[in-house]
Amino acid sequence: MSRNGPVALVYHALFVVFMLAPIVVVCWVAFTPEGFLSFPTGHWSLRWFKALAFYPEFVSAFWRSLFLGALSSALAVAVSVPAALAIARYRFPGREAFTALFMSPLMIPNIVLGIAFLRFFTQIGLGGTFTGLVLSHIVIVLPFALRLTLASAVGLDRAIEHAAVSLGASEWTVLKRVTLPLIVPGVASGWALAFINSFDEVTMTVFIAAPGTETLPVRMFLYIQDNIDPLVTSVSACVIAVAVAALIALDRAYGLERLLVGRGSHGR
Amino acid sequence: MKTTPYLLSLPALLLFAGVVVIPLAMTVILTFHDWGQYKGIEPVFILKNWREVFGDPYYGEMFGRTFRIALIVTVLTALFGAPEAYILNRMKSPWRGIFLLVILGPLLISVVARTLGWALLFGGNSGLVNKTLMSLGLISGPLPFMFTETGMVVALVHVLMPYMVLSVWAALQRLDPQVENAAVALGAGSLTVLRRIVLPQAMPGILSGAVIVFALAASAFATPAIIGGRRLKVASTLVYDEFLNTLNWPLGAVVAVLLLAALAFIVIGANRLVERRYAQVFG
């Protein structure tokens, strides 16, 4: 394979600058010592990170987002695993339709899901509750959990299960001791991808979160609508730090490429 | 054993029937309800909201803006993302892994934080983008970015770029480098190789990336809301306003259902086209 020429490398450099510029700028401004938005040069300060302590709504929204993401992803995985096993190993009428239905939240704009949930939860008395948030988040992250769980269930070598059966294992033992342990990597990366999508979701959540159940992205969005000041840049810098940490951990654990593309990479 | 797959899918099925199908059906019904400033939502069956959206040119203009922005964003991500995916594909380890991480990584960062970055970069007439462009002599006076379609397009291109790079990258994985080498050995110039070998193979990736980017751009919310402010409306920010400010839910529901229908129509149509066009190649 031929190498990239100088033109390609210059293009690549500009591209990377474009992709990183807004992220770097947020982190840069977060360290300003001034009381207004400015790019600090030479004089840095943690003033706006310390100020976060006086805005408990950001701190509580952060913990809520973390908990909501972990819980709804876990529940989405719990629902996905049996569905993935059904889709992966049985041919039954309605199989295609089920798959399409479970993947449908990817096709439906989150704004439409947002108003649908708002109307629905208000009608049944779950409006603005944490239960409503969890239910809606399970639904929107389920496609991510299902896709990766399905990929590992399809790739499973059935011969291992057959061996277990021929050695006298019951169906339940096979499931518990053979099948589930084998799909754990797919399930774990499905959970991780679901968690990230729940943690970052704003469009749908902005409709169903009430004061007291706001998630961090929703709190940030509502804050930015009113005014952009250094405080929200320091919150964003923390969010970016969490994302970078997650990114590195995910890449070490599964390979980001595999996680995002959804299959093993050939070229490496 | 015939019931086993149904039993296994039952939890997911119940969840989706209860929390997806019913709410969506309720939203469609909502579009026919009446609404008044003082009486609120009245559960009747009328076409008033549909007539209003189709009759008032304001909505036509707003939908036009939404799909125009989505189309421009799609073209720009394809134009700039596809070459980058190709360059990435030609890189050697470990650079390839590192830059793939740098370019796809922003997907994991909240879209609110990324858009905030653009709001800071645009920041009025003295923003960093304008200063840079002016010092390079590319523009003579500052361009308005905040509260304009230009600003929305730039920020959306950034937000959605990883999807395009990812999609083209996945298509290029199937490209056998030996085919390129064979073309060179047979006397093809590098432009011919790009045009006749690489581009046709990357095309399915570009097209499927374009479908994803278009759908996400047309329904994007946080970025148009932050960059466009309260003045420059697209479909999703209008829905937000109707639901949470004006409180005219039935009217907002009409706009949302129309957005969903238009997107479903475009996405399904485009997918059919792509599949038919490339059925022979990747059967």
**ipTM of predicted complex:** 0.91
Mean pLDDT of chain B: 90
Task: Please give the structure tokens belonging to residue B167.
Answer: 């999609």
Cβ contacts of A105 on chain B, cutoff 8 Å: 20
Assigned domain for A172 exists: yes
Q: Which DSSP category does B91 fall into?
A: P
Q: Hey, is the C-beta of B16 within 8 angstroms of any chain A C-beta?
A: yes
Q: Does domain B60-115+143-278 have CATH number 1.10.3720.10?
A: yes
Residue B108 banded pLDDT, cuts 50, 70, 90: confident
Q: How far is B150 from B237, CA to CA, in rounded Å? A: 17
Q: Which DSSP category does A5 fall into?
A: -
Run of H or E including B19: none
HSE-CB at A246 with a 13 A cutoff on CA atoms is 25
pTM more than 0.95: no
Q: What is the dihedral of CA B104, B106, B111, B113, to 10 degrees?
A: 180
Partners of B221 in the beta sheet? none
Q: Which residue type, as a one-letter code, is found at position B275?
A: E
Separation of CA A19 from chain center: 20
* Structural domain that includes position A172: 55-261
**Residue B191: burial class (beta carbons within 10 Å; 0-12, 13-18, 19+):** exposed
Q: Show the low-confidence residues of chain A (pLDDT under 70).
A: 1-2, 254-268
Residue B126: pLDDT over 80: no
What is the average pLDDT across B63-87?
A: 97
Query: What are φ and ψ of residue A210, in 5° steps?
Result: -110, 165
Q: Are the beta carbons of A218 and A61 closer than 8 angstroms?
A: yes
Q: Hey, is the C-beta of B177 within 8 angstroms of any chain A C-beta?
A: yes
CB atoms B26 and A203 under 8 Å: no
Look at chain A and report how many structural domains it folds into: 1
Q: Which DSSP category does B107 fall into?
A: G
Is residue B5 reached through a cis peptide bond, with omega within 30 degrees of 0 on the bond before it?
A: no
Q: Are the beta carbons of A109 and B236 closer than 8 angstroms?
A: yes
Cβ contacts of A257 on chain B, cutoff 8 Å: 97, 100
User: Residues B13-47: pLDDT tens digits?
Assistant: 999 999 999 999 999 999 999 998 888 898 999 99
Assigned domain for A88 exists: yes
User: Residues A213-252: pLDDT tens digits?
Assistant: 999 999 999 999 888 888 999 999 999 998 888 888 877 7
- Nearest Cα of chain B lies from the Cα of A50 at a distance, in angstroms, of 19
Query: What are φ and ψ of residue B136, in 5° steps?
Result: -80, -5
CB atoms A82 and B15 under 8 Å: no
> What are the residue ranges spanned by the domains of chain B?
60-115+143-278
Residue among A108, A202, A260 minimizing CB distance to B260? A108
The domain that contains A89 carries what CATH number?
A: 1.10.3720.10
HSE-CB at A180 with a 13 A cutoff on CA atoms is 12
- Nearest Cα of chain A lies from the Cα of B129 at a distance, in angstroms, of 10
* Chain B residue with the nearest C-alpha to that of A28: B117
